[in-house]
Structure 1
Amino acid sequence: MRNYSTDSPQAAARIVSLVALSDGHLCSRELDRMHALGATAALGLTREQLLRVMQDYYEDMQLYGEYGWADASRLDPASLDGMLAEVRDPRLRQEVLRLCTAVAEADAHWSDSELRVIDTARARWLDATATAG
């Protein structure tokens, strides 16, 4: 799995991508919701860069996880923790969670894998905030 710089737009976008792809497919409503919320501007990326992060994540899953598109939700806990650790800024974390929640709600169905990613992010990031304060 590739690494991104801490608090980089790509690190944040990959977590949003993970939620968008975690149910095994990317629907147009999810992309439309991201566009409506200004996700690219909020993350500091162009639309093309966001789509590239999504493509890179999918390729990483195939290369390192030996998973296909339908198995995108099977990311191992250590890899998920590594991705979450790349986003440390509290405001960026809040923005990522806002976008992840919106993406999960876009198709009017929360999959178990979407819930797992968002719940794990909240738990890790809230724990980190509590211990830092």
Structure 2
Amino acid sequence: MRHYATDSASAAGRILALCMVVDGNLAPSELRALNRSRLLDYINIDIDTFHGLLDQLCQDMLTSSVQQECVVLGQDTIDALLREIEAPELRRQLLQAMWSIADADGVLADAEAKLLARACVIWSAESGFVQHEAQLASAN
């Protein structure tokens, strides 16, 4: 996997891209959720740049994570990508957007749940947000 500077727009954009493709399916509802989150504006990248990051992520996954004809990202790889984000406010913003993206198609896939869980572990100070969002979602 490529390395991006800590707290960079590229590192943050890749986390969003990962949330969209980690379950093996990029749903249009996930792109709409990303749009609604306005996080691309927050991290100051445009949609074309995001699509480039998404493409690079998919290329990296195919070249470094293929095992027996499927793509598998190990926990160490996911953890390394998450550790590129250190700023607490950026972590909170990303967690909020990741939750919205993962929930956009109405199905929380195992891979999405694992990514959110790892984000909670790595970004432990911000993990209360995801728990709060889960409670709100189950109340609705």
The TM-score, its normalising length taken from structure 2, stands at 0.84
Paired-residue identity, %: 26
Query: Is 1:38 equivalent to 2:16 in the alignment?
Result: no
RMSD: 2.0
Amino acid in structure 2 at the alignment position of 1:116: K
Contact (CA 8 Å) 2:91, 2:126: kept in 1 or not? no
Tell me if structure 1 keeps the 8 A contact 2:33–2:100: yes
User: Under a length normalisation based on structure 1, what TM-score does the superposition of the two structures give?
Assistant: 0.88
Aligned to 1:22: 22
User: Who is 2:131 aligned against?
Assistant: none
Q: Partner of 2:66: helix, strand, or coil?
A: coil
* Structure 1 residue runs of 4 or more that deviate by more than 4 Å after TM superposition: none
Kept after mapping to 2: 8 A contact 1:61/1:67: no
How many pairs were matched up?
127
Asked if 1 retains the 8 angstrom alpha-carbon contact of 2:23 and 2:111, the reply is yes
- Which residue matches 2:137? none
For the Cα contact (< 8 Å) 1:11–1:86, is it kept in 2?
yes
Letter paired with 2:73: L
Higher relative contact order, chain-length normalized (CA < 8 Å, sep 6+):
1
Question: Which sections of structure 2, spanning at least 5 residues, go unmatched?
Answer: 128-140
